[in-house]
Amino acid sequence: MKFKKRFKSTTIFGKLFFTFIAIILISFLLFTTISYFMFKKDITARHTQYINEYIGDVQDVMNKANQAGWSEEMKKSTFDLIGSGQGQNITYYFYGENGQFLYKAGIKLNDFQVNKDMVKKVLKGQEIRTTFKMQNHKRASLVGIPIENSHREKAMIIVVHNVDQDLRNVSLLLLIAVIATVLVIATMIFIISKKITTPLKNMSKVARSLAEGDFEQRVKVKSKDEIGELAETFNFMARELAGVEKMRRDFVANVSHDLRTPLTSLHGFLTALLDGTIPKKKEQHYIKIMKEQTERQIKLVADLLDLARMESKQLEIYPSDFNLSEEVRLMIGRMDPELTKSKVEIQFITDETREIHAFADRDQIDRVIINLIQNAIQFSPENSTIEVILVSIADDFAQLTVKDFGPGIKKENLKYIWQRFYKEDEARTKQVGTGIGLSIVKEILELHHTTIQVDSEKGKGTSFWFTLPIKKI
């Protein structure tokens, strides 16, 4: 059943196998046809050569026989031997000068009569060479030649009637060669087709496993050709899907944690307020804490909704020309409370001689700047400095860089920092923000058809930078 299914014309294996077989059969059909006609021409030429040789032999024997005075019976016996020699089926007809039939020799031929007009033409000195079909539909070669001697034999008709046999022998050899070759090639095609389709069937099997949630399955790669490359790409996809699935689970766990922990705190504070555990003079302090926790949860949910809109391409941007230098100063000023609380200073480095403008969505770029500065504060040790650098590049682009001098990020982990809730080292951060700031930065800049770049060295800090087009005034 499995073997029958493999040979279905709807399968890739069946299509490959039958396509190759069809091509081979058509090719051999053309080859055999061409070869047949070439051999046919060669056989005809060979028969002509044989006849020419026999004509010479017969004339030599006839001259010697006449000189020696052989009887007609001796001549006939000798021509019988010549006509059947080397497997040649040849019949000789001899005629006198008036066209009268004298005798025939060679192989016995019952279903053939010599045309009298042909004999007359030969007696007149005309040589005749032709090919014809006998009454049994077999092909034969015929040669009629005049005989120049002083004896009574004046014309000779030679019929060679084994032409079809030679053609059948050639056809049989060609047929055997074609069948043997097709069988060998069919076996090779079967093996090659199986080798090509087996990895594809394995990929199909693994794909079903992936669809069922098993992301550990992989395709075995045994070749370096296109199929091998496809298998490598398939395995890469499987690894990426496994990573996405892990990220999804981590995302759910992190969101659950980030929502549950503050809610638990809020529940505890509210319970303490209601049952009078918290003294009256400290109620405002705990209410302020609850307000901050609530604002953080609101920001987390808002950021998650915005990120979902960005990833689904539902967030639209509205570019306009604005003063990027002034906007950076405003954002730094807005972050002053957090800078003071974290005991971190910020230094804005730019060209003081002129303001740098940009053509982008001002509100979304503000979010990018705020998130980058918050990220730098999160990883900056106390009494350190954050550098915000704004320069123009060839008067076409504005480049903004945010650089901290914190613990840095391992090179192998840089590709993960854009994932939601990814944490490089929880013990070395201050755990402020929602954990999805860099994901939002990446999505916003991609909407502006630009990218965020990062460079980091462990123990020396991290730099993030991006470019925006300048709208010249």
What is the CATH number for 383? 3.30.565.10
Contact 91, 108 (CB under 8 A): yes
Q: Does one domain contain both 143 and 11?
A: yes
Q: Point out the domain boundary residue: 292, 311, 330.
A: 311
Q: Does one domain contain both 364 and 303?
A: no
Q: Is residue 367 part of a domain?
A: yes
Q: Does one domain contain both 162 and 38?
A: yes
Q: Point out the domain boundary residue: 258, 289, 311.
A: 311
209, HSE (Cβ side, Cα atoms, 13 Å): 16
CA–CA separation, 77 and 139 (whole Å): 26
Residue 426, pLDDT score: 47
Q: Does one domain contain both 306 and 325?
A: no
Contact 65, 133 (CB under 8 A): no
For the entire predicted model, the pTM comes to 0.48
Q: Is residue 209 part of a domain?
A: no
pLDDT in tens, 378-402: 889 998 999 999 999 887 899 999 9
pLDDT in tens, 388-439: 999 998 878 999 999 999 998 888 888 878 876 666 654 444 554 556 788 8
Q: Does one domain contain both 299 and 332?
A: no
The structural domain count of the chain equals 3
CA–CA separation, 111 and 140 (whole Å): 12
- Reading the block at residue 116, the tokens are 């009298």
- Reading the block at residue 430, the tokens are 């201050």
Residue 427, pLDDT score: 41
What is the CATH number for 134? 3.30.450.20
CA–CA separation, 147 and 158 (whole Å): 12
CA 126 vs. chain centroid, Å, equals: 70
Q: Point out the domain boundary residue: 151, 168, 185.
A: 168
**Residues 111-117: contacts with CB within 8 Å, 24+ apart?**
111/135, 111/136, 112/140, 112/159, 112/161, 114/157
Q: Is residue 399 part of a domain?
A: yes
3-state secondary structure of 335: coil
Q: Is residue 195 part of a domain?
A: no
C-alpha triplet 454, 457, 459: angle, nearest 5°: 135
Q: Which residue has the tokens 């049994």?
A: 136
For residue 376, give the nearest of 429, 423, 445, 413 by alpha carbon: 429
Cβ neighbours of 56 (radius 10 Å): 10
- The range of the structural domain enclosing residue 437 comes to 320-469
Residue 423, pLDDT score: 63
Q: Is residue 51 part of a domain?
A: yes
Residue 390, pLDDT score: 94
For residue 439, give the nearest of 258, 247, 237, 263 by alpha carbon: 247
Q: Is residue 199 part of a domain?
A: no
- DSSP-derived secondary structure for 108-143: ---S----HHHHHHHHTT--EEEEEE-TTS-EEEEE
Q: Does one domain contain both 299 and 358?
A: no
Q: Is residue 397 part of a domain?
A: yes
Q: Does one domain contain both 430 and 328?
A: yes
Q: Does one domain contain both 298 and 396?
A: no
DSSP state of 85: G
Q: Does one domain contain both 7 and 69?
A: yes
Q: Is residue 239 part of a domain?
A: yes
Residue 213, pLDDT score: 79
* pLDDT by position in tens, the chain (length 473): 444 445 555 566 677 777 777 877 787 778 777 777 777 777 667 766 767 777 777 777 777 777 777 777 787 777 777 666 545 577 878 888 888 888 777 777 766 778 888 888 888 888 888 777 776 667 777 888 887 776 777 767 777 666 666 667 777 877 787 788 778 877 887 777 777 777 777 877 888 888 887 878 787 777 777 777 878 888 888 888 887 777 677 667 766 766 777 788 788 888 888 888 888 888 888 888 888 778 777 777 777 777 777 766 777 888 999 999 999 999 999 888 888 888 999 999 998 788 999 999 998 999 899 989 988 998 899 989 999 999 998 878 999 999 999 998 888 888 878 876 666 654 444 554 556 788 888 988 998 999 999 999 888 899 999 999 987 54
